[in-house]
Amino acid sequence: MDQKLCKVACGGNLTATFTPKNLTSPLYPSVYPNNLECKWNISSADPSYQVQFKVTFFKSETCCDFLRIYDGLKYEYLRGVYFSISRYYVSTQAWLLLRFYTNNRYTFPGFVASYELVSDECSPQGVAANCSLTGGTCIKTVGSFTCSCPHGYTLSRDGYSCKDNNECLQNICHSNATCINTPGSYRCECNPG
């Protein structure tokens, strides 16, 4: 009786939405086969949003089997090589490219991950757009942002906008001068007489 060898299908084109979707290595929770090269292209359903890819479980042959995560649709912008630690990645574009590779030695369960859309808080439509509008700089971080204010400004309680410091409240001018607060600074003007 002939045994037919079945090739495991893996990879493909996926679309991220605001509802998280799961992605697993082939045959998970059983062990993945040897000699795989799976490629997934994950694109955003809306190009004004980014793709977040979160790995929640990963177990593979440490030396030789891996999951590579690329920012965009080319192999040039590597975001990470995944071996064992749970973490997440956020694209800087509307796409992520994944490559899962296994050699011909040992096999393990592989990985469990999820992907979904996340907003670019620093975009003009994002929640942190006011940071730039008030003189600050919106700095993207993994899955979030920080608003950095220029000298003479402090971050408002909302975390999204910069407000002018009133340096005059610190009595920094000479007693014979009047402090005049200016945007981001101050000036001292001598009193008449």
Assigned fold of 12-119: Jelly Rolls (2.60.120)
Q: In the chain, what percentage of residues exceed pLDDT 90? A: 32
Q: Once rounded to an integer, what is the mean pLDDT over residues 73-86?
A: 58
Could you tell me where in the chain the CATH 2.60.120.290 domains are found? 12-119
For the stretch 107-154, pLDDT in tens is 999 999 999 988 766 766 565 666 766 678 877 766 567 788 888 888
Q: Which pLDDT value is given to residue 2?
A: 37
Q: Once rounded to an integer, what is the mean pLDDT over residues 39-59?
A: 87
Class of domain 129-190: mainly beta
Could you tell me where in the chain the CATH 2.10.25.10 domains are found? 129-190
Q: How confident is the model at residue 29 (pLDDT cuts 50, 70, 90)?
A: very high
Written in H, E and C, the secondary structure of the chain is: CCCCCCCCCCCEEEEECCCCEEEECCCCCCCCCCCCEEEEEEEECCCCEEEEEEEEEEECCCCCCEEEEEECCCCCCEEEEECCCCEEEECCCCEEEEEEECCCCCCCCEEEEEEEEEECCCCCCCCCHHHHHCCCEEEEECCEEEEECCCCEEECCCCCCEEECCHHHHCCCCCCEEEEEECCEEEEEECCC
Q: Which pLDDT value is given to residue 79?
A: 57
Higher pLDDT, 188 or 71: 188
For residue 64, is pLDDT > 80? yes
For the stretch 163-173, pLDDT in tens is 889 999 998 99
